[in-house]
């Protein structure tokens, strides 16, 4: 029990003792470890009990280790580093003159070099205890590689060493300048200037990468800008420092474990979310990942560009910090941030003057960013390293193309790509294809990364690396022969040639490098999916799956990605039975491999739901839809585009299975989400379904309002003659008629029928259903005989065109039944109705409200 | 985040009770759903639950009550503590029934301080009792542990509720987590001999 519970002390003593215990505890924490014993001996005197208690607490404190919460790290610091205490003292051959700043790793001082050259340096002194003596020996190696770097955009590292007191330090070129963002905002640079400046930064990073040096902690405060106007020169500080520190500490860990690990075999430090999460790449946030490479820098660089362009970070830093470490890791790994232009429209930013923007006006900035700049930034900060730029130089080059209006490598981010057919068909397929092909070079380099993830597979790393080198070589040769026009993605026939060439290459590689061939097949499959050429997509997906199953096993992540592509291709081609088998097993394996909440699992699950739905198994699809939607909603920030997408998908399905109440609820929420996102097309699509659900609930006026708004939006975005405007107009007309606005309904129907005839012909559903509604309008006017003949005619042509079992045929029987029971022909009316019910039974479950309603009507006729 | 801290007169005691009842029922519902869910059936994440409750209540009819985040966090922590303790009691009652689902809580700042990512729910009772004792001796430390462990709050959020500076809280938290680690270990050690007999089946 604690001291305080010991009997025989007054409570005042207890209080005093408790206070004293913690005071000594805190002061002991500030002592160097080897001095603590002596300190406790003095402070506790003869009170052995107190001393023992504090020792236990100190032990627990040490075990708690590096605290995992981010704001926590910044809060506690050993007193030995209280920066001001060092002014005037010497560390190595440097005398400290003032404090420049403090970071997570340590403190940066301005110092004067006492020996050799007389100069001022920036001296970074690392938190004590971070490095062991063995680690320090490695500094020499690193020092040489850092010394080889000489670039105007990189602050030189003069010296790396350890002070007499055991504090490791780095002496660096002292840069007098403001941080990149401060500079840009203070000078109110135009976008063109911002990009020019940023390109210099990217080129400096590219230079260092070529020399084999990775930064690992790129952020605006590590990029200082000196001079102004044309003379402005950004300089990156701390290049290579983070890596030295990480490897040195890992070196200690690995040596104590095996004594052999070290060179090039990266070790994971668990729970190492130590830096700021704002610039941290998803792979850095993944505790299982061991590979941090140049693409990690490219990600951070992308975030910096995001900030330079918008004044904002992709994720709101306040919000991010409130999430807790595990949540932050998950967000970084799984959530797509908004595009820069969209970020400016978010609540709190839209309409507010923003001093970080060139003219301070978010609306103007948004117009400037939308499109290619958005794409470039989003490519740079892709969650998958393989989708990012392959090098800093490629990044810089793409930015260089912008002011000249040349096409960029980056393409629109494709969130909806795996979820909705319509999205895919209307995207720039050609650009997707080219970006994927270019991305392939990077993708296969990344094969190595994928493999290192599983510990058992570490042995494969070597061969994976050789393989990726081979792939790169092959693809570079392939792309080198391509005309520049093609590289810009404008010429379809030549694009075909590239694809053909890729296919031939894959075939040629299959024997010797089966996994290289698999990677090419996989990419081709995704490319063809993007282009809407589904047979070809299917063929390549099959080959990729086969090769990967053989080479990597059934349950490897890469295999599962290919199986997912295979499932999608099958779904597109309506080979639903096989699609279901493939996707269901993919979902199961992914659940085991990466867990049920992982976005890849959810993507596969969503595809499975689409397949079940396409197969008419709506009731089985519904729980999957619900699960995908609810999980996404739980782990994504409120208002995220994907939530809207999944929620509207879910609402669509609810409407179909007749759960109108829930459909209305989900539909309304989804509409509001889309509205907030400014996605007019999606607002319109969702309003259509909402209107139908409302109509079935008998809320016909609300339905009219929904369809009316939908029609306005879709006409505005797609034009009156677009097929989706046609459907919307049909819905509106039907609701109008049922609400009693027959004249207005007739006017709309005239347009529907005419357009449908032109666009889709007289055997199309749109035309036939439009005609049906026209006849029903007549009925309202009392023209019975004429109407009955017309309905019978329509019944015949509709059955012929759409099949006997089509719901539109059932609808016609229902109309006929109503007409006939109205003038007393009950027998015939009941026969019509039973035919309609039979058709609906083939489509829906017994308890579908439509069937229930029709059966009730049947009772009414009797 | 709101920086405006209302004076206590802005909210009557009745308001606060209503807020607590509201938050409790919302959290209870969410917790119930989480435990019934197939995806992660046996783990509760206070941080996630509290955030979700916040967002839901913010959309609901009582949004004005919830808007003061400091009050909300305070109420949510109390509610979460009650839910977890109820669950732990039920679980220890059910223990004789055999065939248990293992229930843990995770993603909690306090759990991390105990050097675990997940805490078995049995430990919740231990911590609850320890906090009862601590509250008399050091109310601030007890409150901070409650907020961090049961409410899953971050330091910034806890600072908001306790109306104190983050820096002071860091210091207090360093002491608190050491204390919690030592005392939980002690309590378990003294209980271990009794508990083992019952568990041996």
The pLDDT tens digits for A604-641 are: 888 898 888 877 788 888 899 888 888 888 877 777 87
Whether A270 contacts A325, CB under 8 Å: no
Write the CB contacts of A108 (distance below 8 Å, at least 6 apart in sequence): A99, A100, A101, A102, A122, A123, A124, A125
Q: What is the largest CA-CA distance in chain A?
A: 114
What is the 8-class DSSP label of residue A314? S
Residues of A in contact with B156 (CB under 8 A): 71, 321-322
Q: Is the pLDDT of residue A10 over 90?
A: no
Taking the CA atoms of residue A315, residue A411, residue A447 and residue A506 in that order, the dihedral angle to the nearest 10 degrees is 170
Cα distance between residue A591 and residue A585, in whole Å: 10
- Of residues A176 and A234, the one with the higher pLDDT is A234
CA distance B82 to chain A (A): 22
The verdict on residue B61 lying in a domain is: yes
Cα separations in angstroms, A782 against A337, A521, A775, A861, B105? 58, 64, 11, 21, 69
- Distances, alpha carbon A423 to alpha carbons A429, A645, A670, A797, B36, in Å: 11, 11, 17, 32, 35
Chain A residues lying within 8 Å of B178, measured CB to CB: 25, 57-58, 60-61, 64
Residue of A57, A76, A321 lying closest to B156 (CB–CB): A321
Rounded average pLDDT over A543-569: 90
Identify the closest residue of chain A to B106 by CA–CA distance.
A326
Q: What average pLDDT does the segment A831-839 reach? A: 93
Determine the Cα–Cα distance for residues A644 and A675; give it in Å rounded to an integer.
10
Please give the backbone phi and psi of residue A108, each rounded to the nearest 5 degrees, phi first.
-110, 130
Q: Provide the pLDDT for residue A560.
A: 92
CA distance linking residue A274 with residue A105, whole number of Å: 9
What's the confidence (pLDDT) of residue B52? Answer: 67
Q: Is the pLDDT of residue A182 over 60?
A: yes
Q: What is the pLDDT of residues A557-599, one digit of tens each?
A: 889 989 999 998 898 777 888 999 999 999 999 988 888 877 7
| Structural domain includes residue B2 | no
Q: Smallest CA–CA separation between B86 and chain A, in Å?
A: 25
Split at pLDDT 50, 70, 90, the class of A71 is very low
The pLDDT, as a whole number, for residue A258 is 28
* Token representation of residue A849: 């409200």
Three-state SS annotation for A703-767: HHHHHHHHHHHHHHHHCCCCHHHHHHHHHHHHHHHHHCCHHHHHHHHHHHHHHHHHHHCCCCHHH
Output helix, strand, coil percentages for chain B, rounded to the nearest 5.
75, 5, 20
B115 to A18: CB separation less than 8 angstroms, yes or no: no
- Residue A683 above 60 pLDDT? yes
* B116: closest chain A residue by CA: A64
Q: Which residue has the tokens 């004249």?
A: A743
Residue A391: CA count within 13 A, CB half-sphere: 13
Tell me what percent of the residues of chain A surpass a pLDDT of 90.
20
More reliable by pLDDT, A770 or A296: A770
Q: Identify the bridge partners of residue A99 per DSSP, sorted by sequence position.
A: A109
Strands of the sheet containing B104-106, edge to edge, are B43-44, B104-106, B118-120
Question: Residue A386: what pLDDT?
Answer: 76
| Average pLDDT value for chain A | 75
In a domain, B163, yes or no: yes
Strands A94-102 and A90-91, how do they pair?
antiparallel
Q: Which two tokens stand for residue B17?
A: 């009770």
Among candidates B47, B138, B174 on the partner chain, residue whose Cβ is nearest the Cβ of A324: B47
Residue B150: per-residue pLDDT: 82
Could you give the dihedral angle defined by the CA atoms of residues B7, B11, B12 and B13, in that order, rounded to the nearest 10 degrees?
A: -90
Task: Report whether pLDDT(A80) > 50.
Answer: no
- Token couple for A689: 């379904």
Check CB contact under 8 Å for B173 and A72.
yes
Q: How far is A29 from chain B (nearest CA, A)?
A: 10
Q: Which whole number is the average pLDDT over A155-161?
A: 81
CB A565 within 8 A of CB A525: yes
Structure tokens given for A583: 């996707």
What's the pLDDT band for A374 if we cut at 50, 70, 90? confident
**CA-based angle A359:A360:A365, to the nearest 5?**
70
Interatomic CA distance for residues A168 and A178, integer angstroms? 26
A129, two tokens: 């205890």
DSSP reduced 3-state for B104: strand
Q: What is the pLDDT of residues A451-495, one digit of tens each?
A: 333 333 444 444 444 555 555 455 444 444 433 333 333 344 445
CA proximity to A703, closest of A732, A726, A674, A680: A732
DSSP element (H, E) containing A157: strand A157-162
Which of the 8 DSSP states describes residue B149? I
Percentage of chain A lying above the pLDDT 70 cut: 73
Closest chain B residue to A325 measured between Cα atoms? Answer: B107
Please give the residue that has the higher pLDDT: either A359 or A733: A733
Chain B: residue nearest A602 by CA?
B39
- State the nearest Cα–Cα gap between A313 and chain B, in angstroms: 17
**In a structure prediction context, what are the per-residue pLDDT tens digits for chain B, which is 201 residues long?**
333 334 444 556 667 677 777 777 777 776 766 665 444 345 566 666 676 676 666 666 666 666 667 777 788 888 878 877 877 777 666 554 433 444 455 444 444 444 444 566 667 888 889 999 999 889 999 999 888 888 777 777 788 888 887 778 888 888 898 898 888 888 877 765 443 333 322
- What is the reported pLDDT for A582? 95
* Those residues with Cβ within 8 angstroms of residue B45's Cβ, 6 or more apart along the chain or in another chain: B34, B105, B106, B107, B108, B152
d(CA A263, CA A135): 12
Q: How many domains does chain B have?
A: 1
Q: Which of A167-171, A265-269, A466-470, A695-699 has the lowest average pLDDT? A: A265-269
Question: A-side interface with B, Cβ within 8 Å?
Answer: 1-2, 4-5, 14-15, 18, 22, 25-26, 29, 56-58, 60-61, 63-65, 67-69, 71-72, 75-76, 318, 321-327, 596-597, 627, 631, 634, 638
Write out the E strands in A166-256.
168-173, 178-179, 223-226, 233-236
Q: Are B199 and B142 in contact (CB under 8 A)?
A: no
For A61, A106, A291, B56, the CA distances from A271, given in Å and listed in that order, are: 17, 19, 15, 31
Q: Can you read off the two tokens belonging to residue A11?
A: 């409570």
Reply yes or no on whether the pLDDT at A805 is more than 50: yes
Using an 8 Å CB-CB cutoff, list chain A residues near B73.
none
Which chain A residues contact residue B173 at CB under 8 A? 72
pLDDT band at A75 (very low <50, low <70, confident <90, very high): very low
| Tens digit of each residue's pLDDT (9 = 90 or more) over A409-443 | 554 433 222 223 222 332 333 344 444 445 554 44
Question: What is the rounded average pLDDT of the residues A41-59?
Answer: 89
Q: How many CB pairs under 8 A join A and B?
A: 86
Rg (CA), chain A: 34
Give the Cα separation of A854 and A832 in Å (integer).
11
Contact A141, A160 (CB under 8 A): no
* A546 or B161, greater pLDDT: A546
Query: Residue A131: what are its φ and ψ, rounded to 5°?
Result: -125, 145
Confidence band for A770, pLDDT divided at 50, 70 and 90 = very high
Chain B, nearest residue to A25 by Cα? B175
Q: Name, in order, each residue with C-beta under 8 angstroms of A309's C-beta and a sequence gap of 6 or more.
A: A191, A194, A340, A365, A369, A373, A377
Q: How many CB atoms neighbour CB B181 within 10 A?
A: 20
**ipTM, two decimals:** 0.78
Q: Residue A661 has what pLDDT?
A: 92
Cβ contacts of B55 on chain A, cutoff 8 Å:
638
Give domain status of residue B157, yes or no.
yes
Instruction: List residues of A with catalytic annotation.
Output: 217
Of the partner residues B1, B39, B55, the one whose CB lies closest to the CB of residue A631: B39
């Amino acid at each position: 029990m604690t001291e305080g519970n010991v009997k025989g002390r007054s409570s005042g003593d207890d209080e005093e003792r408790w206070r004293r215990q913690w005071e000594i505890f805190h002061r002991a924490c500030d002592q160097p470890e080897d001095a603590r014993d002596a300190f406790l001996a003095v402070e506790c005197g003869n009170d052995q009990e107190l001393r023992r208690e504090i020792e236990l607490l100190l032990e627990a404190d040490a075990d708690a280790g590096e605290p995992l919460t981010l704001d926590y790290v910044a809060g506690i610091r050993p007193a030995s580093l209280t920066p001001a205490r060092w002014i005037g003292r010497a560390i190595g051959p440097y005398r400290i003159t003032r404090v420049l700043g403090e970071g997570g790793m340590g403190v940066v001082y301005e110092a004067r070099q006492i020996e050799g050259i007389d100069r001022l340096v920036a001296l970074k002194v690392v938190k004590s205890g971070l490095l062991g003596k063995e680690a320090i020996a490695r500094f020499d190696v690193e020092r040489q590689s850092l010394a080889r770097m000489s670039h105007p955009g990189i602050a030189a590292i003069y010296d790396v060493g350890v002070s007499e007191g055991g504090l490791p330090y780095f002496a660096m070129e002292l840069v007098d300048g403001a941080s990149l963002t401060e500079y840009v905002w203070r000078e109110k640079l135009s976008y063109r200037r911002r990009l020019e400046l940023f390109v210099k930064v990217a080129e400096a990073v590219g230079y260092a990468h070529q020399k084999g040096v990775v930064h690992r902690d790129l952020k605006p405060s590590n990029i200082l800008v000196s001079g102004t106007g044309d003379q402005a020169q950004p300089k990156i500080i701390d290049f290579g420092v983070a890596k030295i520190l990480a490897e040195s500490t890992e070196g200690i860990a690995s040596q104590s474990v095996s004594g052999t690990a070290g060179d090039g075999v990266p070790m994971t430090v668990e729970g190492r979310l130590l830096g700021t999460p704002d610039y941290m790449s998803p792979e850095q946030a993944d505790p299982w990942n061991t590979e941090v490479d140049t693409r990690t820098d490219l990600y951070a660089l992308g975030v910096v560009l995001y900030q330079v362009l918008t004044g904002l970070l992709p994720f709101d830093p306040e919000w991010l910090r409130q999430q807790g470490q595990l949540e932050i890791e998950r967000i970084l790994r799984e959530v797509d941030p908004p595009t820069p232009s969209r970020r400016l429209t978010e609540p709190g930013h839209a309409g507010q003057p923003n001093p970080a923007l060139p003219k301070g006006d978010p609306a103007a900035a948004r117009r400037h960013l939308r499109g290619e700049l958005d794409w470039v930034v989003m490519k740079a900060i892709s969650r998958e390293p393989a989708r990012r730029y392959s090098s800093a130089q490629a990044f810089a080059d793409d930015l260089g193309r912008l002011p000249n209006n040349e096409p960029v490598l980056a393409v629109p981010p494709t969130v909806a790509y795996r979820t909705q057919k319509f999205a895919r068909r209307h995207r720039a397929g050609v650009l997707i294809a080219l970006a994927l092909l270019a991305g392939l070079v990077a993708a296969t380099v990344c094969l190595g990364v994928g493999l290192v993830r599983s510990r058992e597979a570490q042995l494969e790393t070597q061969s994976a690396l050789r393989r990726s080198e081979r792939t790169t070589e092959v693809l570079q040769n392939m792309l080198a022969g391509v005309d520049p026009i093609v590289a810009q993605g404008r010429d379809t026939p030549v694009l075909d040639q590239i694809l053909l060439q890729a296919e031939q290459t894959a075939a040629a590689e299959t024997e010797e490098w089966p996994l290289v061939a698999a990677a090419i097949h996989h990419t081709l499959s995704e490319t063809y999916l993007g282009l809407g050429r589904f047979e070809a997509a299917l063929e390549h997906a099959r080959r990729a799956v086969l090769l990967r199953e053989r080479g990597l096993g059934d349950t490897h992540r890469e295999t599962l990605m290919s199986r997912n592509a295979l499932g999608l291709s099958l779904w597109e081609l309506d080979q639903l039975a096989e699609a279901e088998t493939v996707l269901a097993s993919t979902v199961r394996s992914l659940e085991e491999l990466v867990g049920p909440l992982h976005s890849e699992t959810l993507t596969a699950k969503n595809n499975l739901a689409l397949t079940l739905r396409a197969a008419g198994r709506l009731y089985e699809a519904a729980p999957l839809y619900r699960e995908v939607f609810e999980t996404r909603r739980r782990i994504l920030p409120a208002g995220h585009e994907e939530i809207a997408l999944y929620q509207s998908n879910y609402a669509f399905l609810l409407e179909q299975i007749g759960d109108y109440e829930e459909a209305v609820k989900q539909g309304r929420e989804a509409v509001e989400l889309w509205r907030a996102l400014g996605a007019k097309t999606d607002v319109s699509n969702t309003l259509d379904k909402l209107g139908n659900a409302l109509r079935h609930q008998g809320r016909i006026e609300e339905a009219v309002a929904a369809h009316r708004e939908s029609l306005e939006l879709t006409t505005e975005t797609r034009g009156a003659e677009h097929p989706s405007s046609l459907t919307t107009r049909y819905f509106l007309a039907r609701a109008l008629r049922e609400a009693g606005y027959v004249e207005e309904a007739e006017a709309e129907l005239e347009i529907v029928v005419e357009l449908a005839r032109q666009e889709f012909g007289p055997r199309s559903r749109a035309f036939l259903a439009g005609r049906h509604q026209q006849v029903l309008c007549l009925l309202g006017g009392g023209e019975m005989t004429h109407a009955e003949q017309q309905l019978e005619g329509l019944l015949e042509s509709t059955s012929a065109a759409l099949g006997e079992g089509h719901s539109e045929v059932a609808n016609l029987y229902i109309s006929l039944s109503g007409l006939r029971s109205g003038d007393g022909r009950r027998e015939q009316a009941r026969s019509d109705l039973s035919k309609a019910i039979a058709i609906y039974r083939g489509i829906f479950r017994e308890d579908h409200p439509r069937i229930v309603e029709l059966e009730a009507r049947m009772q009414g006729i009797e | 985040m709101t920086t405006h801290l209302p004076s206590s007169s802005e909210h009557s005691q009745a308001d606060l009770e209503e807020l607590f009842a509201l938050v409790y029922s919302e959290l209870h519902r969410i917790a119930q759903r989480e435990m019934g869910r197939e995806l992660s059936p046996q783990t509760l994440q206070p941080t996630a639950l509290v955030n979700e409750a916040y967002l839901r209540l913010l959309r609901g009819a009582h949004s004005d009550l919830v808007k003061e985040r400091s009050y909300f966090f305070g109420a949510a922590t109390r509610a979460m503590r009650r839910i977890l303790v109820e669950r732990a009691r039920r679980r220890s009652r059910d223990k004789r029934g055999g065939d248990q689902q293992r229930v843990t809580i995770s993603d909690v700042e306090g759990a991390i301080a105990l050097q675990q990512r997940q805490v078995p729910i049995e430990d919740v009772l231990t911590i609850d009792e320890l906090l009862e004792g601590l509250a008399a001796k050091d109310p601030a430390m007890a409150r901070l542990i409650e907020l961090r462990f049961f409410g899953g709050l971050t330091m910034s959020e806890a600072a908001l509720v306790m109306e104190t500076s983050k820096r002071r809280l860091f210091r207090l938290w360093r002491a608190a987590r050491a204390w919690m680690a030592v005392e939980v270990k002690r309590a378990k050690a003294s209980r271990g001999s009794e508990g083992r007999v019952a568990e041996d089946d």
